[in-house]
Amino acid sequence: MIVVNNQLQVAKIKLAYILSFFMGIGFFVPIFVTQHITIEHYVMFALAIILCVSFTYLVLIKPEYVYFAEVKGSLQIKNYPARPILRQYKAFEIKLSSIHHFEINRSIFNKKITLTIWVKTNKGTGNYPPLSLSALSKNDLLKMSKYLSQHSIDRTKNIIPF
């Protein structure tokens, strides 16, 4: 059973990365090539600044493709960054009976959302590396947090900020 799959949102974010980068460069180049600066150059400079800020925003919140699926009593998680270059694909599998609790944290004006899953092992509790949930829709976030809450051992430690 697939719990969350945000492939469409990630495709839109990849397109935003590419467009904002190349259009920002495209608006900056004519400013430095010509010797006479006109009003159009100021407009292009303002648009280039806006596109650079949007590109920087995407870099800061680090949206990721996230795939959660329940497979034979375990939670299968696959993720990779939404940026079009320098991706690192990650995948891991967690037994549903070993999920101790989870934490969802928000930062950068509540736009960067990270998930940390704590599991119970023979030596105590340990956590998996944080996953970025910034690219998930609100419905997917609620569905995923409800699913994890149902399968966590210590529900009192779950941190859900919404």
Name residues of the chain where pLDDT drops below 70. Answer: 162
Residues 6+ apart with CB under 8 A from 21: 51, 55
Residue 130's pLDDT is 92
> For the chain, which residues make up each domain, given as ranges?
1-162
User: The whole model's pTM is what?
Assistant: 0.83
18-61 tens-digit pLDDT: 888 888 888 888 877 888 888 888 888 888 888 888 888 988 99
DSSP 56-94: HHHHHH--EEEEEEEETTEEEEEEEESSSSS---EEEEE
CA distances (Å), origin 128, targets 1, 122, 145: 22, 16, 16
pLDDT, position 162: 67
> How many residues in total does the chain contain?
162
Give residue 3's pLDDT.
85
Structure tokens at 74: 């375990």
pLDDT of residue 114: 94
